[in-house]
Chains A and B, each alone.
Chain A
Amino acid sequence: MTDDAAAPEEEVVAPEPSPPLPPPLAALVEAFPAATLEHSAAGQNVFRVEASHLVEFAQAARDAGFEMFIDLTAVDYYRQRPGPRYDVVVVLLSLQHNLRLRILVAVDGDVPAAPSITGVYPGANFYEREVYDLFGIDFTGHPDLTRIMLPDDWEGHPLRKDTPVGSVPIQFRGTHKVE
């Protein structure tokens, strides 16, 4: 998929010219102009895409050689930044190029929604369910979006920052020793 001959020219076109981009990433930048490369250093290659483009970008990444799905999670930047509150984070790995790729997708709203990438990477299934369970992010197109960690009748999404830790006050009682 990656075109080695085209790669050196892409270094110049890429947004950050100083570190030379590895060929698969350069190919990805070329193939998908809607995605912005946030930074690419110390083995961390971070792209940010719009939620509506996530599935196409994941498909492009898989075609560019990122064959292994590694991780999907979310971060709640509650009152930490202007704009969208949540980031959905997808981590992909390319074994053939020995590269990692991280995709950030900003989502917002009371019931934030992102498209499901289970059609591209089946391994995202449980991860999306986990994020739905703990953050309340809706993954449209997911085959079975149900709670995974918490009981089915649980209310709320505990990893949201406006949800308290849920600790109970510790009480110390008199103990009893067996003679």
Chain B
Amino acid sequence: MSEDTSTQDTTTEETSGETAPASESERRRLQEIWAAGTEEPAWVTAATAEGAQLMLPRDQASPVEVAEEGGTLVNDDRLYELEAAEEETTILNMGPQHPSTHGVLRLQLELEGEIVRRVKPVIGYLHTGMEKTGETLTFLQGPTNVTRMDYLAPFHNELCFSLATEALLGIDLPPRALAIRVLMTELNRVSSHLTWVATQGMDLGAVSMMIYGIRERELLLAFFEKTTGLRMNHNYIRPGGVAADLPDGWQEDVAEIVEAIPKGLDDYHDLLTHNPIFLGRTEGVGVITAQECFAYGITGPPLRAAGVDWDLRKTQPYSGIEHYDFEVPLGQHGDVYNRYLVRMEEMRQSLRIAAQVAESMPDGDYRSEDLKVTPPPRKRIDESMEALIHHFKIFTEGFKVPAGEHYQAIEGPRGELGHYVVSVGDAKPWRLHCRTPSFAAIQALPTLMADQLIADSVAIIASIDPVLGDVDR
């Protein structure tokens, strides 16, 4: 066949030359030759203006090339050789409206064929100005603002802000308030990781994980709604304690959660952990070393997956979490698969903590005794003029916080969540800065994704679990 086309080719060039063909039959004949894939005459190029088709005559092509085009020979290495020779890269814009970037992350990928050579993350598409809004809200209203930051971990945001405020105020909390905070944040860690496993599965083609992960998450959200009134963005943990006591029957709810979700986790392990497709997509992909984590400020599960035993709940405990028994899972290789395993085990450990809290929940008040911070109970407002004035002042002016600055860090589901609060002795923070784990992780994406396949980029993005509200604030 190759001989045929080459002979036709030579005759075409002789007859047509550089000018347009004279007759309609000649034109049709040339059209057929061109459609057959041989070298086109010049006038065809001029008419279509799409450039040459770059197809070599068969007698000039090497046997390897012919075999590869025919599909009888598969040689992956040749692909890379050709790209290196051509030195041609493609810029691919991914996002901000893309289903696999977990929000409005935009990446500019420089591709060499299938290989990602350089990545530039472009963020700010969800910049909400929360740090500015935080300066206009009182310390009591502050959690309303920050809870919408990392919307998968609202309790952690509230807790971090409340701890920073309480450190500036210098107040202590009753044990029940601390225990409720631990219970809610640990359940929140589970719900956040469930969303992660749902989206990670979906990004790698396991759409059923999406259904399963959210099925389990509904259990937790129902409990959150019962406790706080909202499924997300709770504004429940506030400076001076929590907004309300746990609802009636919370022990049964927690018991159900602690029993049901590990069964779901077993399902996920059955579906994913030894699944050869999942292993192929995750093992050895997106490796980050401990040193790189330090340099970029990456904390949380990616750091632990790289083998560093660092969990703020153990090393710098807060809110009485040191009283509960749990373990910190560690990885070895720092790849996507290790991050998956670390998060899966973290969910079990968090449920362990929740079960212990439910068992040992102390009695007492759920708010601080400090009357400057805590509004009077509803019943007292009806009886006492003082209480009414007090209540009014707390909710209009707010309480004044002594001047000072404080950096408070807690272990969020994505890593170290830090709030840097500056007070100048007013009822509103002079400056509120949120150090968010996703922001640090996003800037490591160029390192993580360099020289990986483009198909793996979604696995890598999902594995660092970015929340764009957390990145852009």
> Which chain A residues have a beta carbon within 8 Å of chain B's beta carbons?
42-44, 67-71, 73, 75-77, 80, 89, 91, 93, 95, 98, 100, 102, 121-123, 125-127, 134, 147-151, 158-159, 165-166
Contacts and interface: CB of A to CB of B under 8 A. Distances in A.
Contacts of A151: 124
Given A149-B124, A159-B131, A165-B136, A125 B443 contact: yes
Given A42-B167, A149-B124, A158-B129, A80 B430 contact: yes
A89 B315 contact: no
Nearest to B309: A95
Contacts of A166: 129, 132
B274 to A, nearest CB: 33
Nearest to B293: A68
Contacts of B133: 165
A-B residue pairs, 8 tightest by C-beta = A71-B435, A123-B297, A149-B124, A123-B296, A149-B127, A126-B443, A73-B433, A69-B297
Nearest to A163: B132
Given A95-B308, A98-B316, A148-B123, A75 B439 contact: no
A43 B431 CA distance: 20
A43 B443 CA distance: 27
B216 to A, nearest CB: 32
12 contacts: A68-B297, A69-B297, A71-B418, A75-B433, A91-B407, A93-B416, A122-B295, A126-B443, A148-B123, A158-B132, A165-B136, A166-B132
A134 B433 CA distance: 12
Contact of B294 (A43, A44, A69, A148): A69
B407 A148 contact: no
Contacts of A69: 294-297
A71 B407 contact: yes
A157 B449 CA distance: 32
What is the predominant secondary structure among interface residues of chain B facing chain A? mixed
B440 A123 contact: yes
B313 interface: no
B424 interface: yes
Contacts of B295: 69, 121-123
Nearest to B472: A149
B446 to A, nearest CB: 10
Contacts of A73: 420, 433, 435
B430 A75 contact: yes
B294 A165 contact: no
Contact of A126 (B136, B405, B442): B442
Given A71-B418, A91-B418, A165-B133, A44 B406 contact: yes
Nearest to A62: B294
Nearest to A100: B407
A67 B124 contact: no
B157 to A, nearest CB: 16
Interface string B291-323: 001111101000000001010000110000000
Given A98-B315, A100-B409, A126-B443, 12 more contacts: A67-B294, A70-B409, A70-B418, A71-B420, A73-B420, A75-B431, A98-B316, A121-B297, A122-B295, A122-B296, A125-B443, A159-B132
A74 B315 CA distance: 27
B422 interface: yes
Contact of B407 (A44, A76, A165): A44
Given A91-B435, A123-B295, A123-B297, A70 B416 contact: yes
Interface in B119-161: 123-124, 127, 129, 131-133, 135-136
A42 B127 CA distance: 33
Nearest to B447: A122
A75 B422 CA distance: 8
A55 to B, nearest CB: 16
A149 B136 CA distance: 20
Contacts of B299: 68
A52 to B, nearest CB: 23
Contacts of A148: 123-124
Contacts of A150: 124, 127
Interface string B420-449: 101010000011010100011011100000
Contacts of B129: 158, 165-166
